[in-house]
Amino acid sequence: MLNLEITFIIIISYLFGSIPFGLILTKIFIGKDIRKIGSGNIGATNVLRSGNKLIGYLTLALDILKAVVPILFINFYYNDQLYLASLSVFIGHVFPVWLKFKGGKGVATYVGILFCLNYLSGIVFCVTWLLIFFIFKYSSLSSIVSSFCIPIFQFFLISDPFYYFYFIMFIMIFYTHRENIKRLINKTESKTKIY
C-alpha cells in the first residue's frame, strides 16, 4: 500500500511539473515555437526574449503555480511526502516526458516549491535573486547564487533537518545552468531585460 501511495505521489507531482507552459503559451499567443527562439529553453526567461513580456510573466506565474498546486495537495493528504513531491515536480519541469526530457531550468518551479515548504526561504530566494540581478543583469547568475544561498539559510538560520534537500536542489539548478556558467566565464552570457 505504501509503495502505491509513493508511486501516486511521484507520478502526479511529475506530471504537474512537466506541463510546458512556455511552449504552450508561445504557440497559442505568438504562433512560434519557443524552442527555436533565443536559448531554445522553454522557461520564462527565454519566453521574455520572444518580445512578449506579458506571455513571459504569465509563463513565470504558471511555472510557479504548477509546483504550488500538487505540493499543497500532497501537504493536505500525505504530509510526510512533501520533499518527494517537491523533487518530483522539479524533475518533471526539467525533464518532461512530452518534450523528450528537454525542459526548463527549474528556477520558477523551485520558487513555487520554496514558498510551499518554507515561505521565508521563498522570500530569501526572491530578494537575493533581485539583488544580484539589479547589480549584474544576468538572470542565470541570479538563479545560481540564490539557489546556493538557500541551503546555507536552511542550515544556519532555520536549522532545518532536511537542509540537504535544498543542497540537492542547488546542485540540480547548477547543472541546468551549466551552459550559462560557461558563457558567464567566457563573458558571452546575454543580459536579461525583465521590464
Among 102, 188, 88, smallest CA distance to 138 is for 188
Among 142, 151, 189, 194, smallest CA distance to 171 is for 151
Cell of 130: 533581485
74 Cβ contact partners less than 8 Å away, ≥ 6 residues apart: 9, 12, 13, 81, 82, 85
What pLDDT shows up at residue 26? 93
What pLDDT shows up at residue 93? 97
Place of cell 513531491: 85
What pLDDT shows up at residue 1? 46
13 Cβ contact partners less than 8 Å away, ≥ 6 residues apart: 70, 71, 74, 84, 85, 86, 88, 89, 92
Q: What is the residue extent of each domain of the chain?
A: 2-186
Total-model pTM: 0.94
What pLDDT shows up at residue 167? 96
What pLDDT shows up at residue 2? 58
Per-residue pLDDT of the chain (195 residues; tens, 9 = 90+): 458 899 999 999 999 999 999 999 999 998 989 999 888 889 998 898 777 889 999 999 999 999 999 999 999 998 889 999 999 999 999 999 999 999 999 999 999 999 999 999 999 999 999 999 999 999 999 999 999 999 999 988 877 788 899 999 999 999 999 999 999 999 999 888 776
What pLDDT shows up at residue 195? 65
